[in-house]
Structure 1
Amino acid sequence: MINTNLKFSGIEKEVKQFDKNKVSNIHKMIHEKSGLGNEFLGWVDWPETFNKAEHDRMKVVANDLRSKIDVLLVVGIGGSYLGARAADEMIRGLYPTDKVELIYVGNTMSSTYTQNILDYIKNKEFGIVNVSKSGTTTEPGIAFRIFEEFLINTKGNDVAKSRIVAVTDKSRGALKEMADAKGYETFVIPDDIGGRFSVTTPVGLFALLVAGVDTDAIMRGALKSKKDLSKESNDAYQYAIARYLLHTEKKYSSEMLVSYELQLQVFTEWWKQLFGESEGKDGKGLLPTSCIFSTDLHSLGQFIQDGTKNIIFESIIRVKKPQVDINVPKLENDLDGLNYLTKNSLHKINNIAIEGVIDAHVNGAQIPNIVLEFDKMDDEMFGYATYWFMKACAMSAYLLGINPFDQPGVEVYKKNMFKLLGKPGIK
C-alpha cells in the first residue's frame, strides 16, 4: 500500500548493493527486541497484541461522550496529540461535517490561543480527553487545569465527571491519581510504547472514536503493514537505506517530506517528530522538514530550485486515488485561458504537476527525490502508513547506531525553564 520509487534518487545502485547482513541483523534486533531502547519496542507487535477488550470499552465510552458534546478538547503535546490530529485531518479532511469537532490544546502556552479556545467553546457542549503518561508535563498540565476548571464552573462536577477522560499510565503518575480520585474514566498508555510511536494505542484512538473515525479500519491497516514488513526485504527498509546513504555517503543534511494534499500537512508534522526525535542525537541525523506543494512552490520553490545545493533531498507522498475528484469548469469566453485543462480532472492535473516538479527538481536543481506512493487517504491507509514509517524509522536510526526511542535533548529546555520559573527543588 506504499510503494517506494527510488529511480529519481541517484543512489539506486548503492541501495541495491547495500549490506544485506547489516539489514538482516537490524531486522532481528527490532523483532527480537535486542537493540538499544528495546524496552520501547512494544509497537512492533501491537497491531496483533493490542488489548481488544480495552478497545471495545473505549468505543462504549466514546459513543456515550459523542452523544453529549459538540467539541472534544484533546489535551496533549508531541506524540500525545500529533498522531490523532494527523489521522483526523487525513481521514475526515480539513472541514469535517461530523457533529463532533476536535480541538487541540496543551501543545502551546500561548495565552491568546488559550483564551480564543475558551471564547469559542463557552456556548458549546464540550468534553476533554487528557493524554499524558505522567500528568506533570508543563504545557498540557496547564491547559488541563484551565479547561477542567472551565468545564466544572460552567456545567458542574457531575457533568464534568461524565465528560473528562484520561489516557495515562496504568497504575501510577499524577494524572492517574487525579483521575481515580475524581472518578474520570481512564485508558492505558502501554509502558513499552513511547509517545511518537503510540498513535494506534488509546493515545490516538480514543479521540478518533469520539470523532466517529473507524478505528477498526486503522488497526486493520496497521496489521496489514506489519505483515507486509515482516520480511527483511521491504519498501520501508529501502526508504530507510536510501535516506541513510543520502545522509552519510552523499552528505545531505535535510530531508523534506512533500505532500500535494493539504489534509496531509499534519501527517508530515507527525513524521517530523517521529524522525527528528528518534534520530537527532549524538550529533547525528537528518533534519526533517516538510512542504505542501504546489502551495509552497510559490514561496520556497525558488530556494528549492536555485538556492544552496547539497542540503535538501525530497521524499514525495503521491496519492493514487483521492477521496473525491472534480473537473475544471469550461467557460465560453475562456478569458483566463484555462479551458485546455477541462479535459483532465483536478487530481490528474495535480499528478501531472508532480511529474513536472520532479523533473524540475531532479534534472534541473539536481535534488534527489524518493517517491512514496500511497494507495489512498482513509482510515486503513493511515494505520498502514504510520506503522510503515515507524518501521522505517527504527531501521534508519539503528543504521546510524543510535537509540531510536529516547529523547535526552528534550529535557534540556525543561530544566532551564523550570529553573527560571523557580520550580521547587530545581537549582
Structure 2
Amino acid sequence: MNDIKFDFNNMMSFNVGGRDGVTEYDLRRLMPRVNKCHRHFRRLSENPASRVRLSLEWLMLPFQDKKTVEEIQRLGDEIGRQYENVLSLGIGGSYLGLKSAQEALCAPYYNEFLQLRQKRSRIYFEGNNLDPTPLAVLLRQLDPKKTFVTVISKSGETTETKAVFDVVEEWLKAGVGAHYGRQIIAITDPKSGTLRKKVLEEQAKDPSNFRSLPLLPGVGGRFSEFNMGLLHLAIVGVDIAEVFSGAQAMARRCSLEDIFKNPAYMYASLHHLAHLRKGKSIAIMMPFSEGLKSTADWYCQLLAESIGKKYPRRIKALGDSGEAWEADTRRPVHAGRTPVATRGTTDLHSIQQNNVEGPNDKAVTMIRIASFADDVTVPADKGFLSQKRFSELLALAQEATAWALTSAKRPNCTITLSQLSPWTWGGLLYFFEMATAFEGELLNVNAFDQPGVESYKNYMYYKLRKPDIPEKIAQEIEKHPVKSDVRFIL
C-alpha cells in the first residue's frame, strides 16, 4: 500500500536528540505492552457482542454489504440530481466527517460552480452551532421547494441539531406544503429515540415521508463517517466503494501485531512515548493541502474525545467471553494529548513560530500530497520563482518545515498520500481511527465514550427544564454554582 506512507524518522532520537526523540530501545521496551494491547483489541474485535457493547463496530464499517452500499449510492445520486440544494444537519462527527469528505473529495469551490459539481446539489452544513445568523441568512436565500434536508442524530435530542431541525422543518412545511416530509431523510437510531419516533409517526401517514437510514449499533459519532456519511458521499457523486477499498487496504495493514509493519500502531506508540516520556502533550495536525483542512478538524475531535479522559477504565469480564468497561473513579489520571488543527503553508506564518521557538511540548504531524490533480506554474521572468510549479513549492515548504522543526529538536512526522482520492482518503481516515483507538488501549482509557461532553449538555437541559433530567444531575448542578463578583467584570 505505497499510496500511503508514514515517515517517522523525525520522531527518533537520532534526528531530534535523546531528550526529545524516541529511541529504538524505547520502542522495543514498549513492545510487550503493544503486543498485550494488540491481543486484547483483536479478541474484542472478533467478538460481535463485544464490538457492539464497547462501540467497536466501526472496525467493520469498510466491509459493509455491497448491496446496502449500492442502494445508498443510488439514493444519493437521485437526491443529488433532483434538488438544487441539500441542507445537512448534524454536529460532531455528523458534521465534521461530512465536511472533511466534501473538502477532500469534491472540487474546491464546489458550491459556487454548477459544472464543478456536475449539476448536483449544493451542500450546506447547519445544526452544528447555535449562532442564529448563518441559519437565518441561509434560509432567506434558499427555495424550500428546491431543497432537500438530511438530519443526522442518534437520539434526536442533541440541542444544536434538534433546534435547527425544528426551525428547518417549519420552514420546509411553510414553503412546500403537506408533502414536505418527502424532502427529508433522517439518519438515526434504527429502534429508539425521538427522531426515530417521529420517522415512524410520519411514515404511518405517508410511506414517502421522512425516509430514514440507520446509525448502526456500536458505532460512536466520531468513528462513524463510514456509516452516517455514506449518503452525503453519494449525493456529491463520490464512489463509496472506492472509499471502502482504501479503508479495507489500511485495515489489513493495521491488523498486524508488529509495530514496524503496522503504521497505526507505530503512530500510536510513538506519540504515546513522546507524550508520557518526553512531555509532548500537544498534537499539531498540519496537512499541506486545502482539501485536508477539515480532515484536520475531524482528527482533533477524534483525538480529544477519545483519549482525553479523567479516569482509566476498569474491565469486567462477562460470561460470553466478552467484557464491559466502566470508569475507575478511584484514581483520576486526566489522560490525553491536546490536538490543534493547522495547515501548511498558511499557518507557517503564525503557529509555526511557536512550534519552532515556543515550549518544546509538541509533536507535529504533517500530511503531504505527492501528486495534485491540478497545478499552476509561475510565469517566466519572475526571478527565483520563475517556472516553478505550485506543487513543487508546496513540497519544498513541507520539506523546509520538517527541517526547521527537526533542527530545533522538535519531533515531527509526515504522512504522504500519492494523491488525494477516495481510496487514499478512506485509508487515511481508517489509519487515524485505528491509531487513536490503539492509543486509548496503551493508556487504558475508554476511547469510545465522551462523559465530558455530556456535562455541558446536562447543564443546558437543566436550565431549559427538559423533562426527565435525572435527579442526580440536577443535584450536581445545584451543588456547584458558578460565583460571579461584579469586581471581576470590567
Cross-structure match for 2:391: 347
Of the three residues 185, 190, 193, the one matched with 1:173 is 193
Unaligned runs of 5+ in 2: 12-20, 111-115, 203-208, 311-333, 475-490
Asked if 1:95 corresponds to 2:109, the answer is yes
Cross-structure match for 1:76: 90
In 2, the alpha carbon distance for the partners of 1:403 and 1:38 equals 12
Give the residue type in structure 1 aligned to 2:375: D
Of the three residues 410, 417, 421, the one matched with 2:460 is 417
Deviates more, 1:226-235 or 1:388-397: 226-235
Contact 2:246–2:425 under 8 Å retained in 1: yes
How far off is 1:18 after superposition? Answer: 3.9
In 1, the alpha carbon distance for the partners of 2:29 and 2:298 equals 28
Q: Aligned ranges for residues 371-410 of structure 1 at < 5 Å?
A: 371-410=414-453
Of the three residues 199, 207, 216, the one matched with 1:190 is 216
Cross-structure match for 1:39: 54
How far off is 1:327 after superposition? Answer: 1.2
Cross-structure match for 2:266: 238
How far off is 1:21 after superposition? Answer: 2.6
Of the three residues 7, 15, 29, the one matched with 1:5 is 7
How far off is 1:265 after superposition? Answer: 0.8
How far off is 1:56 after superposition? Answer: 2.3
How far off is 1:303 after superposition? Answer: 2.3
Question: CA-atom RMSD, angstroms?
Answer: 1.9
3-state DSSP class of the match of 1:248? helix
How far off is 1:206 after superposition? Answer: 0.5
In 1, the alpha carbon distance for the partners of 2:23 and 2:108 equals 37
Cross-structure match for 1:147: 168
What TM-score results when the alignment is normalised by the length of structure 2? 0.81
Give the residue type in structure 1 aligned to 2:404: A
In 2, the alpha carbon distance for the partners of 1:188 and 1:110 equals 29
What TM-score results when the alignment is normalised by the length of structure 1? 0.93
Asked if 1:21 corresponds to 2:21, the answer is no
Structure-2 change in CA distance of 1:2 and 1:347 (3 Å): same
How far off is 1:306 after superposition? Answer: 2.2
Deviates more, 1:52-61 or 1:163-172: 52-61
Asked if 1:222 corresponds to 2:233, the answer is no
Contact 2:10–2:413 under 8 Å retained in 1: yes
Give the residue type in structure 2 aligned to 1:348: E
Identity of aligned residues (%): 29
Unaligned runs of 5+ in 1: 332-337
How far off is 1:38 after superposition? Answer: 5.7
Give the residue type in structure 2 aligned to 1:108: N
Which of 1 and 2 has greater Rg?
2
3-state DSSP class of the match of 1:81? helix
How far off is 1:221 after superposition? Answer: 1.0
Instruction: Kindly provide the CA deviation profile for residues 245-281 of structure 1, in whole angstroms up to 9, marking residues without a partner as x.
Output: 1100001110101111112110001101111100000
Cross-structure match for 2:336: 285
Asked if 1:357 corresponds to 2:372, the answer is no
Give the residue type in structure 1 aligned to 2:182: S
Cross-structure match for 2:298: 270
3-state DSSP class of the match of 2:130? coil
Deviates more, 1:291-300 or 1:401-410: 291-300
In 2, the alpha carbon distance for the partners of 1:24 and 1:140 equals 41
Q: How many residues align?
A: 416
In 2, the alpha carbon distance for the partners of 1:38 and 1:250 equals 35
In 2, the alpha carbon distance for the partners of 1:15 and 1:71 equals 53
Instruction: Kindly provide the CA deviation profile for residues 357-411 of structure 1, in whole angstroms up to 9, marking residues without a partner as x.
Output: 11112213x2111111222211111111111111111111110110110101111
Give the residue type in structure 1 aligned to 2:128: N
How far off is 1:19 after superposition? Answer: 2.7
Structure-2 change in CA distance of 1:36 and 1:224 (3 Å): closer
Cross-structure match for 1:334: none
Of the three residues 21, 34, 51, the one matched with 2:65 is 51
In 2, the alpha carbon distance for the partners of 1:69 and 1:418 equals 36
3-state DSSP class of the match of 2:123? strand
Cross-structure match for 2:139: 118
Asked if 1:367 corresponds to 2:396, the answer is no
3-state DSSP class of the match of 2:9? coil
How far off is 1:174 after superposition? Answer: 1.0
In 1, the alpha carbon distance for the partners of 2:154 and 2:366 equals 34
Kindly report structure 1 stretches of 4+ aligned residues shifted beyond 4 Å.
34-38
